[in-house]
A = this chain, B = another copy of it.
Amino acid sequence: MRITPTEVAALSLSIKVAFLSLVIMLPPGLLAGWLLAKRTFPGKALLNTFVMWPLVLPPIVSGYLLLILLGRHGFIGGLIYRVFGIEIVFTPLAVVIAVSVISFPLLVRGIVTGMESVPVELENAARTLGASPVKVFWTITFPLAYRGIIGGTILGFSKSLGEFGATIMVAGNIPGKTQTMALAIFSAVHLGEDASVYRLVFIATVVAFIALWLTERFTLR
């Protein structure tokens, strides 16, 4: 089985993006997860819907909306372009953003499920021991939600590898630069290169297998 240099680049980009987007999404994911799992407030269902949005919309549409937002004429993209002189669209950064947005709901849902299952009694016990809500969050809620967080991470990571619709919109499909594994596979499908499709699918599968296997080993107590 021979792998071309662009395919190697795609693989390495995919893996980097998957990790990076997890790291970037974890803080807002934890915040949103905590709000949804542990708080009640008016508009909670709205926040919930907002978080789920990228999942409810076809990824290509999310990508389209992202493009509108991040483009040089867009609200965010324009601002960044004027202030920093950099462009987001068609860069690996755009890939990271697209992948992050799309996998965000998966991560958050996992976190919500995990945090919902942390008994409020343990959190209360921590507070009687003098822990502020912030300390309780980091020392009790967060670590005890690990199953859900891992679940969300697995979903988010897997989706990162497979994300395609939004990525292709905001990042283009520039081999060696913004072409992820998913885009490479997509291209191969479209070109009818079945052998290439199978080879790339196999590689993506192996990456996922390794990630899942490591997660399992790592979380076994």
Contact = CB atoms under 8 A, between A and B. Distances in A.
B205 A64 contact: no
A86 interface: no
Nearest to A65: B201
Interface residues of A, number: 55
A95 interface: no
A159 B64 CA distance: 17
The number of times this chain is found in the oligomer is 2
Given A208-B52, A209-B46, A147 B117 contact: yes
Contacts of A216: 44-45, 48
B154 A109 contact: yes
Interface stretch (A53-61, A69-77, A132-140): A53-61
A205 B46 CA distance: 10
Interface string A13-37: 0000000000000000000000000
Contact of A185 (B57, B105, B197, B212): B57
Interface stretch (A1-9, A122-130, A160-168): A160-168
A138 to B, nearest CB: 20
A186 B44 contact: no
Please list the 7 inter-chain residue pairs (A to B) with the smallest Cβ-Cβ separation, ordered nearest first: A58-B164, A113-B151, A45-B213, A58-B182, A55-B158, A56-B208, A49-B209
